[in-house]
Amino acid sequence: MWSSGSGLPIRFGAGLSDASYTRRRLIQTGTAGAVAGALASAGPAEARKKHKKHKPKPRRADVVVVGAGLAGLTAARRIAGAGKSVIVLEARNRVGGRTLNHHLPGGKWSELGATFVGPTQDHIKRLAHDVGVGLFPTFNTGNDLYRAGGSNTTYGNTGPLGSAPPDPLTLADVTAVVERLDMMSTEVPIDRPWAASSADDWDGQTLYSWVKQNSSGSQRFMNLVSIATEPIFGAEARDISLLFTLFYIAASGNEQNPGTFERNFDTTGGAQESRMLGGTQLVSIRVANQLGRRRIYLSSPVHRIVQSRTGVRVESDKFSVHGKRVIVAIPPPLAGRIYYEPLLPQNRDQLTQRMPMGTLIKAEVFYSKPFWRANGLNGQTISDEGPISATFDISPPDGKPGIIMGFIGGDRARRFQAQGARARRKAVLDELVQLFGPQAAKPTKYLEYSWVTQEWTRGCPVSVLGPGTLVDFGAAIRKPVGRIHWAGTETSTYWNGYMDGAVRSGERAAREVLQGI
């Protein structure tokens, strides 16, 4: 469970918070500044001697991996399994990327990041199985609840509409729009969405503008569209290219099963069907343990990658690693902040400038027991008022404690984040009271986690592509640049934006580098 990336024991799965680590880096930076000042005042020979004494020795490996999320760890695991040497450099003081467990008494947990898996997500399920992480069903007994116009409606989610509410004011629009989006998505090649016959037209408009033109455009229905896009993308429909939306739908399947919009949003038969025993971050922790402490270096942000005719040099805050190839397995906006020598091709560089991360916050509210179950509710709600757009029951398998998790995304997240901590907590509890009744007003614990404020993520759950990005720059998303290869869920064909996409991308990047060394 320990790594010695800096010569100090660092635990793979836990340790300092990102905020604490940021403070530690500031302290270290100040110390480094003082040392630099002392060297400047010393004589040249003395300065060179001190610098030489403290300069870390470069490491060497066949392949260097930047990022210890699911993509980077999967790639490293495949490379090590092929008998090649690999070193992983991770900026955070933990592994897991956008998966993060919150530990509870008695060995229980909740997840502050990615939480669910579902049908056709075969690669993440296989990896979880390989490292001994089991699955259990998301709690789904009882009714869903839909709040709109100040009133609540309960309904079952196992019918033809799945998780979509049977609201007579929006039913015709939901049925027509979802059916048409699913049909249009079948015309989008998952590996080359920019090559679709209607790509120029579809990438020239937003999801919002298309839905507005192809539905009644009622405010109630457009609110429902936001309820869908805010948790899935961390964005509003006006931020998202129609072509990107169609690709995302097409990607929600596998080689044998076409993607559907419903598979993104549903619990039964959808992406929220199952959870992982021990939490999703446990997969990364166990893969990291298999790789061992000599292969993974935490708290080591990469700031420069230099490639030559014979190899690469990857420079972190602490030391450099020389290798034959490098896999950059971090979100595209962060990959774009690394300095590359020589510079990246213009289309690759421009692409990373056009792939902002979504805006997503998770609120988790803890109770002594899941009281909503006794009222015939499964904890799954969608709401067009308050900060939360959708909730799930993410209680441990034994139901103790009861935990409601709420997604706060897009505009709601930006308005929410602008409030003080006390006002944010009150807004969440007030909404839960509207959804579940007065018992929701008295939790045993309240927790929120903003992925936007995390230095080494800058948002969640996925990069969001606006109009023109896929057609003009999409071809650069996976294309290697010399000895630099790209991984991360945003580079995946199937299940782009999900854990399965991250694992798939790591497997693909590992195949690429193994063919070249």
Cα–Cα distance, 452 to 458 (Å, whole number):
5
Domains and CATH numbers, the chain: 2-97+279-356+462-516 (3.50.50.60), 169-265 (1.10.405.10)
Paired tokens of 70? 């699911």
- Note whether 152 and 382 are within 8 A (CB): no
What are the structure tokens assigned to 429, written together?
A: 């509890």
Distance separating alpha carbons of residues 167 and 164, to the nearest angstrom:
9
- Reported as a single tens digit per residue, the pLDDT across 50-91 is 444 466 788 999 999 999 999 999 999 999 999 999 999 999
The pLDDT score that the predictor gives to residue 356 is 98
Q: How far apart are CA 155 and CA 163, in angstroms?
A: 9
Cβ(31)–Cβ(460) below 8 Å? no
Q: Which amino acid is at 468?
A: G
**Spatial distance between the Cα atoms of 301 and 286, rounded to a whole number of angstroms:** 22
Output the pLDDT for position 56: 79
Taking CA 282 as the corner, what is the angle to CA 279 and CA 288, rounded to the nearest 5 degrees?
165
**Radius of gyration of the chain from Cα atoms?**
23
What residue has token string 């836990």? 14
Residue 39 CB neighbour total at 10 angstroms:
17
The residues, ordered by sequence, that sit 6+ positions from 98 with a Cβ below 8 Å of its Cβ are: 69, 113, 114, 451, 457, 460, 461
Amino acid at site 120: T
- The confidence score (pLDDT) of residue 54 equals 61
Instruction: Rounding to the nearest 10 degrees, give the CA dihedral for residues 501, 353, 228, 460.
Output: 60
Distance, in Å, from the CA atom of 511 to the CA atom of 478, rounded to the nearest integer, reads 13
- One-letter identity of residue 97: G
Residue 46: predicted pLDDT: 42
Identify the three-state secondary structure at position 508.
helix
Examine residue 461 and say whether the peptide bond preceding it is cis (omega within 30 degrees of 0).
yes
How far, in Å, are 138, 435, 436 from residue 430 at the CA level? 25, 9, 10
**CA–CA separation, 406 and 430 (whole Å):** 13
Whose tokens are 């006390």? That residue is 422
CA nearest to 405, candidates 388, 417, 420: 388
| DSSP secondary structure, 84-139, as one string | --EEEE-SSSSS-TT--EEEEGGGEEEESS---B-TT-HHHHHHHHHTT--EEEPP
Structure tokens given for 477: 């998303």
Task: Determine the residue type at 129.
Answer: H
Task: Identify whether the C-beta of residue 451 lies closer than 8 Å to the C-beta of residue 98.
Answer: yes
The distance from CA 134 to its chain's CA centroid, rounded to whole angstroms, is 21
Helix (H, G, I), strand (E, B) or coil at 333: helix
Query: Could you give the CA distance from residue 517 to residue 508 in angstroms, rounded to a whole number?
Result: 15
Q: What is the pLDDT of residue 40?
A: 34
Q: What is the pLDDT of residues 422-479, one digit of tens each?
A: 999 999 999 999 999 999 999 999 999 999 999 999 999 999 999 999 999 999 999 9
* Residues lower than pLDDT 70 in the chain: 1-55
